[in-house]
Amino acid sequence: MDLSIIIPVYNASLLINRCLDSIFNQTTQYFYEVILVDDGSTDNSVEIIKARDEENIVLYQQQNAGPSVARNKGVELAHGKYVTFIDADDYWEDGFISSLVEFLEKHQECVAVSCVCKNLVLGKAASYNPGSFQNGMVADESGNSTDVSFVLDDFYSYWAKECHVGTCSTVIRTDIAKRSGGMRYDLRVSEDYEYWFTVATFGKWGVVPKVLYVSDGDAVTSANGWLNKMIKRWNNAPSIMEWEKRILTLAPKLSEKDGYKYAIGRVSRNLTYCQLLSGRKKLARKEALKYGKYFTEDAIGKLMNVAKFTPFTWWGLCEFLKWREWHRKK
């Protein structure tokens, strides 16, 4: 078995067939299995899966425990040399399996490889990860545009600039996925980033500059309640010290490297934002004062760096951002 494809499923009846069709319509010489872990769905997702006639489908059902637990169960059940994840509301373009598995076959020094992710949001222009993707090319580590696959020398520095890894745009060696300890189920926000940072401590990472994964889950997100989903994430956002503890246990010297500091700054900007929105103003300001110089320079990152110097301006920013989120049209 070459590849195990793991799909966490929770109330995904709207789009699960599209996801599965995008897998089974792949043109590839590699053998694969599809492991669907139903996480306590209350709709007819399971019935839709059982109605499929493909023989290489494995369905595992569990009580609701969250996507990280579901993905970890999928890795536990995997028989493939490589493992990959895809969410039930997203899909792959043809070539995903062949391009990424072939890359890892050729590059034994790599523990994982990612392709370009296209993000679709209703009413907005598409965005891409890596962020530099344009006209079929991405920036390499030197900043030069290329359409040729490459191996990264410094995963963390490149990620800080490009945010190039998506949960469903990556193939990992199964032995590394198991040795890493899996996704942390105690994290409900940026748990995917923590996992990729952990996997990267085991070896090098590859980049395939092709759009082979499309994130298009707006329909499911809206149906399941966008605000309720985000409130759970905001309330569970940890401190950056808690978030990075496993990574630094595996590679303690990473904290001394500038590339890692900027990568952590990008994560901290997200966690600080969540802490603000959940009312944990003191923790959020403490994080901003320590890591703010490494934040991404988007509008929110810049606002936090301006407001962090006094409790009053920090309180004002908190109230503004909470108002902004509660009035977003979703």
The mean pLDDT of the chain is 93
Interatomic CA distance for residues 48 and 70, integer angstroms: 18
Q: Give the pLDDT confidence score for residue 216 in this predicted structure.
A: 84
Q: Are residues 304 and 230 in the same domain?
A: yes
Q: Give the pLDDT confidence score for residue 79 in this predicted structure.
A: 98
Q: Are residues 218 and 72 in the same domain?
A: yes
Structural domain of residue 243, as residue ranges? Answer: 226-326
Q: Are residues 61 and 136 in the same domain?
A: yes
Give the dihedral of Cα atoms 109, 115, 116, 117; nearest 10 deg.
Answer: -120
Looking at the predicted structure, is the pLDDT value of residue 205 above 60?
yes
Q: Are residues 168 and 233 in the same domain?
A: no
Looking at the predicted structure, is the pLDDT value of residue 217 above 70?
no
Q: Give the pLDDT confidence score for residue 228 in this predicted structure.
A: 65
3-state secondary structure of 283: helix
Q: What is the pLDDT of residues 105-161, one digit of tens each?
A: 999 999 999 999 999 987 788 999 999 999 999 999 999 999 999 999 999 999 999
pLDDT band at 325 (very low <50, low <70, confident <90, very high): confident
pLDDT band at 226 (very low <50, low <70, confident <90, very high): low
- The residues facing 67 across adjacent strands are none
Class of residue 299 by CB neighbours under 10 A (exposed 0-12, middle 13-18, buried 19+): exposed
Looking at the predicted structure, is the pLDDT value of residue 227 above 90?
no
Q: Are residues 160 and 230 in the same domain?
A: no
Q: Are residues 89 and 199 in the same domain?
A: yes
Q: Are residues 145 and 49 in the same domain?
A: yes
Interatomic CA distance for residues 23 and 43, integer angstroms: 22
Domain count, the chain: 2
Looking at the predicted structure, is the pLDDT value of residue 81 above 80?
yes
Q: Are residues 230 and 168 in the same domain?
A: no
Q: Are residues 41 and 154 in the same domain?
A: yes
Q: Give the pLDDT confidence score for residue 265 in this predicted structure.
A: 96
Q: Are residues 140 and 280 in the same domain?
A: no
Q: Are residues 244 and 273 in the same domain?
A: yes
Domain boundary among 177, 205, 224: 224
Query: Token digits for 145?
Result: 């545009």
pLDDT > 70 in the chain, percent: 95
Mean pLDDT of 283-298: 95
Looking at the predicted structure, is the pLDDT value of residue 284 above 80?
yes
Query: Which of 225, 236, 155 lies closest to 196, judged by CA?
Result: 155
Q: Are residues 75 and 115 in the same domain?
A: yes
The count of other CB atoms within 10 Å of the CB of residue 278 is: 19
* DSSP, res 134: B
pTM, full prediction: 0.93
Range with lowest mean pLDDT among 134-148, 204-218, 247-261: 204-218
- Give the CATH number for residue 80: 3.90.550.10
